[in-house]
Amino acid sequence: MGLFDKVSQTRQQSDVTLGPAEAFAAIALIAVAADGYINDSESQAISMTLSRMQLFRSYPNDVMKKMLDRLLMILQRQGVDVLFNAALATLPDELKETVFAVTADIALADGEISEEEEQLLNDLYGALGLSEEIALKIIDVMLIKNKG
């Protein structure tokens, strides 16, 4: 990697700024994309999940779509790490357990968990500073929720 590649990469990483709602949505989007792709049903599921939350009640459908498209573009162009770090930098503390619960729900929605999804949940609870006890409780509840 040359000098200009390093400067360009550093500049790209510092250019990503997210608001609290975008940070929450970014982590949820990363969960959906953990297995390497996002299909239409997953895209609809994330929109529906977010739209039910108080945090996103004021977001009309077109604004929600534009936000998710922007986050997806960052994910595709700059990678998971850039989006994840930008999200962690602005996610409010009071939303950390909530975003872990939503992420676990998304990962477990199909009744199976891929290695990538399991790794994401392991990385996420640590990055969010959640205790293992809280993370296990959340996962247990989501397993029960998605059983049927």
**Residue-wise pLDDT tens digits, 100-134:** 999 998 888 777 788 888 898 999 999 999 999 99
For residue 94, tell me if it sits in a domain: yes
> Minimal CA–CA distance to 120: which of 136, 104, 138?
104
Q: Which residue has the higher pLDDT, 41 or 140?
A: 140
The DSSP symbol for 49 reads: H
Q: What is the CATH number of the domain that holds 119?
A: 1.10.3680.10
| Structural domain harbouring 90 | 18-145
> Tell me: the pLDDT tens digits for 46-94?
888 898 999 999 999 899 989 999 999 999 999 999 999 999 999 999 9
- pLDDT at site 29: 92
State the average pLDDT for the chain: 86
For residue 110, tell me if it sits in a domain: yes
Half-sphere exposure of 20 (CA within 13 A, CB side): 9
Handedness of CA 26, 139, 38, 63 (dihedral sign): negative
Three-class SS state of 58 = coil
pLDDT of residue 21 exceeding 90? yes
- pLDDT at site 102: 93
- pLDDT at site 5: 55
Domain count of the fold of the chain: 1
- 80 contacts 116 by C-beta, under 8 angstroms: no
For residue 57, tell me if it sits in a domain: yes
Q: How far is CA 121 from CA 6, 13, 17, 75, 79, in A?
A: 30, 23, 23, 18, 18
- pLDDT at site 11: 47
Q: Which residue has the higher pLDDT, 90 or 36?
A: 90
The whole-angstrom separation of Cα 72 and Cα 78 is 10
Global pTM value: 0.83
> Minimal CA–CA distance to 89: which of 9, 10, 27?
27
For residue 86, tell me if it sits in a domain: yes
For residue 141, tell me if it sits in a domain: yes
